[in-house]
Amino acid sequence: MDLFEWITAVKNEVVALPNTMAEFRVGVEQLSKITKRLATATEGIELVEQHLEASGALDAAKVLNETVVGMERQVLKVQKNAASIPGSQVVDGAVSDLQRGVSEIARWVAGSAPPETE
């Protein structure tokens, strides 16, 4: 590149500099907004986490889940022995209903969906 080409290239860059700087300022402004939003969102997430821990909701969910698992075990035991109980068809139907209910609670506790009400 000779001197004349270099001067022309520098001149073109200087002419484009105001637009380039304006675009740069817009980009920095947008990045600043995004950073502030991310900081706010992070603070919100941390607050929710603190409230969950302070309220004992996470511990309660764990206890509820353990209870549901224990109930499911008991339902299976009763179902297994239902044939030896007089009127076992009635018992079996009730146990099946209970098992469905317990399964719905287990899914709800696991976070899939709340149980439907009739």
E strand or H helix at 24, and its extent? helix 3-55
Helix (H, G, I), strand (E, B) or coil at 63: helix
Among 7, 3, 25, which residue's Cα sits nearest to residue 15? Answer: 7
The confidence score (pLDDT) of residue 6 equals 92
- Does 45 lie in the same domain as 11? yes
91: tokens are 């018992």
Please state which of the ranges 23-27, 32-36, 96-100 shows the lowest mean pLDDT: 96-100
pLDDT band at 111 (very low <50, low <70, confident <90, very high): low
- Does 69 lie in the same domain as 39? no
- Residue 91, pLDDT > 70, answer no
- Residue 77, pLDDT > 80, answer no
- Cα–Cα distance measured from residue 101 to residue 95, given in angstroms and rounded to the nearest whole number: 10
- Does 1 lie in the same domain as 51? yes
The confidence score (pLDDT) of residue 52 equals 74
The confidence score (pLDDT) of residue 109 equals 65
> Which range marks the domain in which residue 19 is found?
1-55
Average pLDDT value over all residues in the chain: 77
User: Tens digit of pLDDT for each residue in 26-51?
Assistant: 989 998 899 888 888 888 888 887 88
Backbone φ and ψ for 71, nearest 5 degrees, come out as: -65, -40
Domain end call among 55, 78, 100: 55
- Does 76 lie in the same domain as 45? no
- Cα–Cα distance measured from residue 85 to residue 43, given in angstroms and rounded to the nearest whole number: 58
- Residue 112, pLDDT > 60, answer no
Average pLDDT score over residue span 57-84 = 72
Which residues are within 8 A (CB) of 45 and not within 5 positions of it... i.e. 6 or more apart? none
Number of domains comprising the chain = 2
- Residue 11, pLDDT > 90, answer yes
